[in-house]
Every structure is written in structure tokens, then in C-alpha cells.
């Protein structure tokens, strides 16, 4: 065996793959663990053989950037190894994402919670931008949440180096609802400001609990933006009418943010408005955002561990291994003795969370069956 193959085999042996947890466009994701420590990890398996141009660009980008970036608010790539024709990325395991949290209607967000998520988002993004990396696909679904509540920027499949001024880039990036107007107008010379617009949209979404600018097509996206923020004037955004795909969409008046975000403080709206400034060069930078009064005013950001959690998150933290879940007894009380633990009633919280979690119940039944 070659030294390179041997090194790969050694790396591979360090990680155990357990079960499939998700599937993306170009990869299957498994839950797994580190053999030596039992630490929970995720393995993202990318099929390589299926592309006629070899290694897929998204995989190349993701590996390239995650190999270099180490920050508490950027997902950690722990290892890379290959198995036959697959590329395996070993990532820290993250329980949920911001989209699921936003959609979970049982959760209530306090302004301090939103501030905490925004601070983590800006810290991670400031680090990317400081490294001259544009993410180009920020959206709630790509902001993953660790069991300790830390928010992590993930999915670097569209990322690229911030180009030298004057270098053309594709404008076909960023999921539509989070895409800034300069890209919708076909601008090919853009900057870190594109990510800031996305962050602004996410900020608004955290307050509204529904996407802020949900356009139905690229054209409708511009209309949706202008309806919300008013049609930009030449003064507000010099030169925008000269952009390659500029079209006149109609005149919409500017309505104050205050009308929609009725409960927000002045600092909050000030920072939000600076993220969604039309003129990209006037949009706030991640670094300046972190120094914005919003982050220094009361209420202070919630500690990450105290942030609202989804049901999946709490069970994930509490359920495995089975015998550690003292609330289990109650769940199976109808089905016979099963796994009997202490006779104390389970904490109410845990009970609510465990019900509706099918897998843990299935496993429990199977255990019953063998015992019988």
C-alpha cells in the first residue's frame, strides 16, 4: 500500500459511521462518532465517481475553505478521508438549524435571543470576510446550531475568494429570498456586502418568524424588495440603472421599517437598515456591525446555552444511550414493564419532548420484545 493510501486508511479508522440523518443535493449525511472518544460527529459523504468533470465544484469549495477556517461560529471540518469513490467530510455534529428553530411555532423568541444569534452570525461572517472569503449562500437553513446553542455558518459549497476589484464573478449565487438587489440586476463585480444583505434578511426573519422578502421569481424578488423598501433613487444608489440586467420595475414608496417591525427598538432597526442599504458600498461591514450600539444596549444577548431549542435538539441531547433517559419508563407504561428505571415521574419537560420522537420508541419496543 502507498504511504498516501495508508495515511488515508489510518484516518478513516478514527471515525465510525452510524446512521443516515439527511441528504443534500450532492451528499448524504450520516451521524457517527470518533472511535477514541465517542464524540458525536457528522460524516458528509460525497459521491465522486458520478461527475464527468471529476471532483464536484461544491465539494472542492467546501473542502478548500473549511480546511482553512477555524472559528467557533464556523462549522468545524475535523477530517477528510476517502472510501473507494467517495469523499467523506468529517464535521462536528450539529443538532439543528436556524430555519427549524424559526419554524417551530412552540418557541418564543425574546429580543435578547435574536441579539445572541445575530452576534454569532456576525462573528462567524466577520471571520470569513477577514479571510477574504465570500459565503454567497447565507440563509437560515445554512446556519446550523450546536447542542450548546452556538450558531455555526455551514455549507461553503458556493463560497469563493473575494476577488480583486475589477474581477468578474457570477451573479447566480445566493438563494433568491436572501439575494441582494445588485445581484438581481446582474452585477458581476461585487463584494462582502452581498453576504451582509442576506444577514439583514435573516435578522428581519428572526423578528417576523416568516421570510422577510419572499419573491416568487427573480423579477418578483426585485418587486418584493422595492415594495418593502421603496424603489431606489439614483441618489440612494448611484449607477444602479446602468447595471447589466437593470429593468425599471415601477415606483414604490418607501415605508418606514417601524411600520412592520412594531416592537423593535431604534437600535435594532438602525442596524437592520444598515444591512439592507441599496448601495452595496454603504452597507455596513461585519466588523462595524459587531461594534454597532445594538450589541451594547440592553437587553444583553442571551447566553447560547439558554437559547430556544427545538424538540429534536432537546431529545438529541437527552435520549442516547437509552438507559440514560430516566423518562423512558413513562412512555412505555402502556406496553408493559419494558425498561424499568426509577419509579419517580419523569420531568414534565422531558416527557413532552420524548413523545413524538418515534425512533426512540421503536427501539424501546424492540427491547421489550427480546426481554419477553
Partner 1 sequence: MQPPPSPDVTSPAKTPLFHSSTQYKNWRFSTEQLRVTRTALNEAAIAAIRNTFESDSPGSSSDVHFLDAHEELLLVKLYITKISQLCGHFRFPEEVEATGITYLKRFYLKNTVMDWHPKNVMLTALFLATKTTNHPISLESYTSNIPRTRPSDVLDLEFLVAQSLAFEFAVWHAHRALWGLWLDIQELSQAPPHEELERVYDTALQHIRTSRLTDVELIYPPSQIALACLTLAHPEIAASWARSKNAEAALEAIESIKRTITRDGDIPSVDVVREIDRRLKICKNPEKVVGSKAYLAKKAKEDSESELKRMRKADNVRKAVEQGDPFGEELAREANLDDDD
Ligand X SMILES: Nc1ncnc2c1ncn2[C@@H]1O[C@H](COP(=O)(O)OP(=O)(O)OP(=O)(O)O)[C@@H](O)[C@H]1O
In terms of CB distance, is 76 or 220 closer to ligand X? 76
- State the nearest-atom distance from the C-beta of 119 to Mg ion, in Å: 22
- Dihedral, CA atoms, 101, 105, 109, 113, nearest 10 degrees? -10
Whether the CB-CB separation of 366 and 322 falls below 8 Å is answered with no
Question: Pairing state of beta strands 27-34 and 15-23?
Answer: antiparallel
Output the CA–CA distances (angstroms, integers) from residue 137 to 58, 83, 121, 314, in the order listed. Answer: 12, 29, 13, 28
**Candidate list 6, 7, 9, 22; residue touching ligand X; CB under 6 A:** 22
68-76, 115-123, 135-143, 178-186 -> range binding Mg ion (CB under 5 A): 135-143
Residue 10 binds: one of ligand X, Mg ion, partner 1, none (C-beta under 5 to 8 A by kind): none
The DSSP secondary-structure symbol of 274 reads H
Q: Does 57 contact ligand X by CB under 6 A?
A: no
Residue 64 binds: one of partner 1, Mg ion, ligand X, none (C-beta under 5 to 8 A by kind): partner 1
21 has binding-site annotation? yes
- State the nearest-atom distance from the C-beta of 346 to partner 1, in Å: 24
Residue 82 binds: one of ligand X, Mg ion, partner 1, none (C-beta under 5 to 8 A by kind): partner 1
**Binding residues for partner 1, per CB under 8 A?**
2-5, 8, 17, 19-20, 48, 52-55, 57, 60-61, 63-65, 67-68, 70, 80, 82-87, 130-131, 160-161, 366-367, 369-370
48-56, 90-98, 125-133, 203-211 -> range binding ligand X (CB under 6 A): 90-98
Residue 347: how many other CB atoms lie within 10 Å: 12
In terms of CB distance, is 160 or 352 closer to partner 1? 160
Output the CA–CA distances (angstroms, integers) from residue 279 to 134, 147, 190, 205, 295, in the order listed. Answer: 18, 38, 11, 22, 24
In terms of CB distance, is 70 or 258 closer to partner 1? 70
Q: Does 21 contact ligand X by CB under 6 A?
A: yes
**Which residue reads 463584494 in cell numbers?**
191
45 has binding-site annotation? yes
108 has binding-site annotation? no
Question: Which string of DSSP letters, residue by residue, matches 47-80?
Answer: E-TT-TTSS-HHHHHHHHHHHH---TTB--EEEE
Q: Does 60 contact ligand X by CB under 6 A?
A: no
**Candidate list 95, 155, 182, 205; residue touching Mg ion; CB under 5 A:** 155
Active site includes 137?
yes
Distance (Å, whole) CA 183 – CA 181:
5
Q: Does 74 contact ligand X by CB under 6 A?
A: no
Q: For Mg ion, which residue has the nearest CB? A: 155
Radius of gyration of the chain (CA): 23
Whether the CB-CB separation of 7 and 79 falls below 8 Å is answered with no
Whether the CB-CB separation of 289 and 321 falls below 8 Å is answered with no
Q: How many helices (H) and strands (E) does the chain have?
A: 14, 10
Residue 266: how many other CB atoms lie within 10 Å: 11
Catalytically annotated residue among 113, 137, 155, 195: 137
22-30, 119-127, 163-171, 275-283 -> range binding ligand X (CB under 6 A): 22-30
Residues near ligand X, by CB under 6 A: 21-25, 27, 29, 42, 44, 91, 93-94, 144, 155
Annotated binding site for ATP: 21-29, 44-45
Q: Could you list the active site residues?
A: 137
Annotated binding site: 21-29, 44-45
Amino acid at each position: 500500500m502507498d504511504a498516501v493510501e495508508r495515511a488515508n486508511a489510518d484516518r478513516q479508522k478514527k471515525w465510525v459511521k452510524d446512521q443516515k440523518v439527511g441528504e443534500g443535493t450532492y451528499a448524504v449525511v450520516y451521524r457517527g462518532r470518533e472511535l477514541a472518544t465517542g464524540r458525536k460527529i457528522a460524516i458528509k459523504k460525497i459521491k465522486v465517481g458520478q461527475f464527468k468533470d471529476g471532483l464536484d465544484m461544491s465539494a472542492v469549495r467546501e473542502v478548500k475553505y473549511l480546511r482553512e477556517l477555524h472559528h467557533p461560529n464556523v462549522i468545524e471540518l475535523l477530517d477528510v478521508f476517502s472510501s473507494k469513490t467517495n469523499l467523506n467530510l468529517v464535521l462536528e455534529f450539529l443538532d439543528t438549524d436556524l430555519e427549524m428553530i424559526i419554524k417551530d411555532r412552540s418557541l418564543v423568541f425574546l429580543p435578547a435571543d435574536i441579539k445572541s444569534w445575530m452576534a454569532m452570525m456576525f462573528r462567524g461572517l466577520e471571520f470569513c470576510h477577514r479571510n477574504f472569503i465570500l459565503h454567497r449562500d447565507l440563509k437560515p437553513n445554512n446556519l446550523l446550531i450546536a447542542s450548546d446553542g452556538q450558531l455555526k455558518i455551514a455549507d461553503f459549497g458556493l463560497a469563493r475568494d473575494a476577488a480583486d476589484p475589477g474581477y468578474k464573478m457570477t451573479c447566480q449565487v445566493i438563494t433568491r429570498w436572501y439575494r441582494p438587489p445588485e445581484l438581481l440586476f446582474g452585477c458581476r463585480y461585487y463584494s462582502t456586502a452581498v453576504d451582509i444583505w442576506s444577514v439583514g434578511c435573516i435578522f428581519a426573519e428572526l423578528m417576523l418568524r416568516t421570510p422577510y422578502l419572499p419573491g416568487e421569481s427573480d423579477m418578483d424578488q426585485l418587486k418584493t424588495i422595492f415594495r418593502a423598501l421603496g424603489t431606489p433613487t439614483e441618489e440612494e444608489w448611484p449607477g444602479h440603472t446602468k447595471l447589466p440586467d437593470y429593468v425599471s420595475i415601477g415606483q414604490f414608496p418607501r415605508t418606514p421599517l417601524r411600520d412592520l417591525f412594531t416592537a423593535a427598538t431604534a437600535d435594532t432597526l438602525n442596524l437592520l437598515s444598515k444591512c439592507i442599504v441599496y448601495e452595496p458600498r454603504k452597507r455596513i461591514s461585519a466588523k462595524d456591525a459587531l461594534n454597532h450600539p445594538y450589541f451594547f444596549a440592553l437587553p444583553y444577548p442571551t447566553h447560547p446555552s439558554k437559547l430556544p431549542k427545538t424538540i429534536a435538539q432537546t431529545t438529541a441531547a437527552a435520549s442516547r444511550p437509552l438507559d440514560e433517559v430516566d423518562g423512558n419508563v413513562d412512555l412505555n407504561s402502556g406496553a408493559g414493564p419494558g425498561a424499568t428505571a426509577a419509579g419517580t415521574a419523569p420531568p414534565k419537560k422531558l416527557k413532552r419532548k420524548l413523545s413524538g420522537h418515534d425512533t426512540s420508541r421503536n427501539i424501546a419496543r424492540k427491547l421489550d420484545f427480546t426481554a419477553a
